[in-house]
């Protein structure tokens, strides 16, 4: 490799960008399909995929294992605590939702 270490060629980023745009298109398309309760799952799944592309390529997580991975992931991991443990309340609380 002639390029400076740890960098990817511009072409890769352009392709990744095209994929991102394509995924956005799909996401918008699904909104009109009437998927009901599955729509948010699909749309947020696509958003998560796009975020992964951004994190791994554009934010250069690609490469050997590093501490960056831990911190990149720990925010999402910690959110699971908030979402998961709150769920124990909201899923079983009497009288929620109010009204």
Partner 1 sequence: MSSVAVELPPNYANEEHTIGSWLLTRDHKRIALLFFASITVFFFVGGFAATLMRLHLATPQGLLQPSVYNRMFTMHGVVMVWFFLIPSIPTTLGNFFIPMMIGAHDLAFPRINLASWYVFNLSGLVLLYALVMGGVDTGWTFYTPFSTLYSNSYVFAAAMAVFINGFSSIMTGLNFVVTIHRLRAPGMTWVRLPLFVWGIYSVSLVMLTATPVLAMDTVLLAVERFIGVGLFDPRRGGDPLLWQHMFWFYSHPAVYIMILPAMGVVSELIACYARRPIFGYAGMTIAMMSIAILSFFVWAHHMFVAGISIYSAVVFSLMTYFVAVPSAIKVFNWTVSLHKGRIIFDAPMIYALGFVLLFTIGGLTGLMLATLAIDVDVHATYFVIAHFHYIMVGATVSAFFGGLHYWWPKMTGRFYPEMWARFAAILTFVGFNLTFFPQFILGYLGMPRRSYTYPPEWQAWNVLSSAGASILAVAYLLPLFYLGWSLVWGRRAGPNPWGATGLEWTTSSPPPKENFERTPVVKLGPYSYDPERGSYITQDGVRHA
Partner 2 sequence: MPSRTIAPELQYADLAQQGDTAQLGMWVFITTETLFFGALLFTYFLYRNAYPHQFALAARDAVLWCGSVNIGLIMTSSLTMVLAINAAADGRRRALANWLLATAFLGVCFLAVKGFEYYLDYGDHVVPAVNFIAKPGEAPAGELFWVFYFVATGLHAIHLTIGVGLVLYILLWRVRRGEITSVYYAPLEVVGLYWSFVDTVWLFLFPAIYLVGRS
Partner 3 sequence: MYQWVPFWPRTAALNAVVVNNLYIAELGVCGLIMAMVVGMMVTFCIRYRNGSAASRAGLAQKTWHFEIGWTTATLVAFLVLFVWGASIYIWLYKSPPGDIEVYVVAKQWMWKIQHPGGQREINALHVPVDKTIRLVMASQDVIHSFFVPAFRIKHDVVPGTYETLWFKATEPGTYKLECTQYCGLQHATMKGEVVVMTPPDYAGWLSAQGVNQSLAQQGEALFREHGCSGCHGLNSTVHAPTLDGLYGSLVHLQDGSVRRADERYIRDCILAPRTFTVAGYPPVMPDFSGQIGEDDLMKLVAYIQSIGSQRVSR
Q: Does 99 bind partner 3 (CB under 8 A)?
A: yes
Q: Does 59 bind partner 2 (CB under 8 A)?
A: yes
Q: Does 78 bind partner 1 (CB under 8 A)?
A: yes
What part of residues 67-96 is at the interface with partner 3 (CB under 8 A)? Answer: 94-96
Handedness of CA 47, 51, 57, 59 (dihedral sign): positive
From the CB of 25, what's the least distance to partner 2, in Å?
Answer: 9
Q: Does 1 bind partner 1 (CB under 8 A)?
A: no
Q: How far apart are CA 82 and CA 66, in angstroms?
A: 26
């Amino acid at each position: 490799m002639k390029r400076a270490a740890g960098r990817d060629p511009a072409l890769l980023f352009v392709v990744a960008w095209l994929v991102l745009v394509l995924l956005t298109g799909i996401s918008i398309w699904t909104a009109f399909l009437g998927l009901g309760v599955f729509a948010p799952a699909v749309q947020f799944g696509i958003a998560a995929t796009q975020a992964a592309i951004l994190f791994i390529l554009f934010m250069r997580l690609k490469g050997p294992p590093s501490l960056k991975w831990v911190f990149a992931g720990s925010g999402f991991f910690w959110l699971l605590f908030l979402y998961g443990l709150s769920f124990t309340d909201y899923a079983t609380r009497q009288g929620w939702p109010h009204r």
